[in-house]
Amino acid sequence: MALFGHPLSETAELRPLEPWQATAFAAYVDRVRPHLSPWLPWAHVITDTESARQWLQRYADEQAKGNGRIFGIWVDGQLEGGALFRIFDTQSGVCELGAWLSPEAGGRGLVTRAADHLVNWAVKERGMARVEWRVTPANSRSIAVAKRLGMRHEGTLREVFPFNGLRQDLEIWALLAGDLTAGRPTD
């Protein structure tokens, strides 16, 4: 039984991902690396338990300062994905949310439900004015999540992100706090 979990379905939940879970996280990344590596830089650097622990510790340190947070998505007790606030700037009221999922757990709305829960928490509990979602234009599944969250495509930063030997474009999708009160579609 997990402490501090948020149900996403009858068999799935969102809960904090912490340094003490580094072994499970490293095994997860190793298992789904081919699926994650086209999109996520950390899929290339997390190669063992120690690198996973260091990466998770950075988020634990940021969480302690109120600047970031990382969560895992567990399905039937197994880590199958996650979501994080890569940036969480309470001073400006702007945060950036991202998420990922193993291919086996896809197609069930888990990322959308997890992201929706985190958007609501960021805006309603922490007072964020803006939640951003950044994605390469080729990642159609991630763009679909942004759309289901009711985010608007605000533009594309051309060749802003060096990754896998190429300079990648990043689309910026965002939701404002006022969009929550105006109503938006959810999964």
pLDDT in tens, the chain (187 residues): 455 789 999 999 999 999 999 999 999 999 999 999 999 999 999 999 999 999 999 999 999 998 889 999 999 999 999 999 999 999 999 999 999 999 999 999 999 999 999 999 999 999 999 999 999 999 999 999 999 999 999 999 999 989 888 999 999 999 999 998 766 544 3
Q: Where are the domains of the chain?
A: 6-182
Of 77, 182, 81, 93, give the one whose Cα is nearest residue 132. Answer: 93
Question: What is the rounded CA–CA span in Å between residue 90 and residue 63?
Answer: 12
Of 41, 100, 26, 91, give the one whose Cα is nearest residue 70. Answer: 100
**What pTM value is reported for the model?**
0.91
Question: What is the rounded CA–CA span in Å between residue 90 and residue 126?
Answer: 8
The architecture (CATH level 2) of 6-182 comes to 3-Layer(aba) Sandwich (3.40)
